[in-house]
A and B are shown apart, each in its own frame.
Chain A
């Protein structure tokens, strides 16, 4: 059967057949060329791309790779830079979730291809990047215009490797406040003024739990004091200098009293029934933000933005923000420039500009991403910032105060994995399945041991 197509007409090939054959050959060739071109396009893109803007104007295109709605573009900073530098064109590619973005970044760094000229890195990955990938990244500390004293000291040191090479510059940080629902607090007989609310639990997370018990005693039906035990645990954890690693890079989370303390606070909250038993960033959690079924939430500035996105008009004016019991940090990002990039000098200049105090202040004013540049704190865009969505809360002051007291946190390469398993395995079991605090802890430790073993 296979040959029948070809035996037809072999004795005296009519011209039609040659023609048909030519068509077939052409089609196959075109297909093959198309496939090859597809590959070539990919690898062309991969090897740094972009020497000319494609439109023949001789522009230099700088590509920026980010995760999520990173915000630099949305804040209009790229447009502003392109206006200042007409010869530059900036293009951004974004991958929705960091857990997909980060492994891809690692493979691209390893192969030296597929990289954007500028790549963003999340704080939970920064230690791994600084420790294992620094030979593949540019020393941004030497770029002209970059001033070390502008940055918060700990943010600068997180992006610097052991030899003193600064491979990543900080964009934003996440000093935390506590977002609370004014309406629910009022119904439960708690104060609603943000100063009084902050005073309710100032200095001690146990006081936060005590406030939770008061809330629970008169809680509006179907509501809980705090969204999730794991979220609370993260908030407490973010306030200690040593978290999962000590300064020699040893994993110490099992014996670190600060981690245990955070665990106990969260487990107690679950045990007292103060939590809404939700898991953060799940659809059900989003729905709860909109429907107002929990009264408090640990709130870095970007979380205020998240509430705005989800709640829109429905929750406008309902939330307010008060100081947290203790200063702590949640989240924040960095920018790096891979050595393999084609336009690394231009890219480094752009990074220096984007992370300068003025631009960080704009970033905060437009997107609520809090500056990692302490020089920006006193700029009016930050110092005087108020957010009409949350009752004109002076977010500039609240978050700057919190930022000043954040200790220099020691980060480690597997921070993300440890944090995730403590939250999404251990504490989730305690919170949602009613497992005992001890069993939950052991389950988390077992999962982390397995995850850390190479």
Chain B
């Protein structure tokens, strides 16, 4: 009798303990992930101000419909896309190159691997502050260097392309090493026989890279593309701090105001929580769309290979 009860206990243990162990994550996810997501959705259907957050007035989809003709929203979306492309593409290409170099037998390879990851470990605020100085108009180091080769001072912050390039540079600097390490890990999982047989067939190093390394990395590349795209869509800290004096406008002409920054401006500067929530949900939907496209592309790639 007693042993029967014990064995029943063990069965329960078997069955339910794993759930108990994963529960903390899901409890926190419910509290800090799902609930805010749903509540933001609810708030986006109301006119609600931060001065009285409990005082909500139902206005249906008006917050969304006016995003359609909100030129600041479209400007922010455009900026997010261009900064996203300007930062993600070079970032992943450079990361691939660096990973390839680190994959050789190098003296002190551990040192290089750690060094490459240090930008990732610095805080956005510190990094951005340094870059603001570098890109300074009057006494910035980059303009000084350009001046040495006779190129006139560039007003980095005020130009549309120059400011976006500068913000992208910060992103590239911070995230390249992280992606490089992911690529490196994947590269080391590629069986050496593939390279040996390629070498026997007379493939050069470059051909090996293009025909062996890159195809084997395909799932990893897809993963980094997805992660960096999500990161680029949510880009916030770098453009915010790039113009510390002026809050969340993203420059005099809103030339580097991203969606994240516009959301922040509406919610925490203009205090319109309803409108900010609508932007947040628009961003979420855009991410879902990007996710779906990625999934389709991924499926295509798997089929073709």
Contact = CB atoms under 8 A, between A and B. Distances in A.
A288 B20 CA distance: 60
A417 B52 contact: no
B158 A283 contact: no
A3 B14 contact: yes
Contacts of A13: 10
B249 to A, nearest CB: 6
A150 interface: no
B52 A110 contact: yes
Contacts, number: 105
Interface string A27-61: 01001100100000000000000000000000000
A315 interface: no
A136 to B, nearest CB: 10
Interface in A266-297: 279-285, 287-288, 291, 293
A420 B247 contact: yes
A132 B52 contact: yes
Interface string A1-16: 0110011001001000
Contacts of A429: 252-253
B51 A424 contact: no
B24 A280 contact: no
A417 B271 CA distance: 10
A133 B54 CA distance: 13
A184 interface: no
Given A3-B14, A32-B24, A425 B52 contact: no
A325 to B, nearest CB: 25
B193 interface: no
A6 B52 contact: no
6 contacts: A107-B50, A110-B53, A282-B243, A283-B132, A284-B139, A424-B252
A255 interface: no
Contacts of A454: 47, 49, 272, 274-275
Nearest to A32: B24
Given A132-B52, A279-B246, A420-B269, 17 more contacts: A6-B14, A6-B18, A10-B10, A28-B20, A99-B247, A103-B267, A103-B269, A107-B53, A132-B51, A282-B244, A282-B245, A283-B132, A284-B137, A285-B245, A287-B136, A417-B270, A432-B252
B253 A433 contact: yes
Given A451-B270, A454-B272, A106 B51 contact: yes
> Which among A31, A288, A417 has the greatest number of chain B C-beta atoms within 10 A?
A417
Contacts of B133: 283
**Chain A interface size range:** 35 or more
Contacts of B243: 282
A420 B246 CA distance: 8
Interface string B2-24: 00000000100110011011001
Given A32-B24, A283-B133, A447-B249, A128 B14 contact: no
B252 A287 contact: no
B132 A450 contact: no
Interface residues of B, number: 44
Nearest to B7: A10
Closest 3 CB pairs of A and B: A424-B246, A428-B252, A282-B245
Nearest to A420: B247
Interface in B240-282: 243-247, 249, 252-254, 265, 267-272, 274-275
Contacts of A283: 129, 132-133, 136, 244
Nearest to A2: B18
B63 to A, nearest CB: 10
A452 B275 CA distance: 12
A420 B250 CA distance: 13
B252 A425 contact: yes
B196 interface: no
Nearest to B265: A451
Given A283-B129, A288-B138, A433-B158, A443 B10 contact: no
A421 interface: yes
Interface of B: 10, 13-14, 17-18, 20-21, 24, 47, 49-54, 70, 72, 129, 132-133, 136-139, 155, 158, 243-247, 249, 252-254, 265, 267-272, 274-275
Nearest to A110: B53
Interface of A: 2-3, 6-7, 10, 13, 28, 31-32, 35, 99, 103, 106-107, 110, 128, 132-133, 279-285, 287-288, 291, 293, 417, 420-421, 424-425, 428-429, 432-433, 443, 447, 450-454
Contact of B247 (A10, A106, A424, A432): A424
Of B18, B54, B133, B270, the most chain A CB neighbours within 10 A belong to B270
Contacts of A421: 249
A99 B52 CA distance: 18
A420 to B, nearest CB: 6
A7 B14 contact: yes
Greatest chain A CB density within 10 A among B51, B52, B139 is at B51
A224 B162 CA distance: 25
Contacts of B50: 103, 106-107, 110
B239 to A, nearest CB: 14
A443 B136 contact: no
Contacts of A128: 51
Nearest to A281: B245
A131 B269 CA distance: 18
Contacts of B17: 6
B24 A432 contact: no
Contacts of B132: 282-283
B245 A279 contact: yes
Nearest to B274: A454
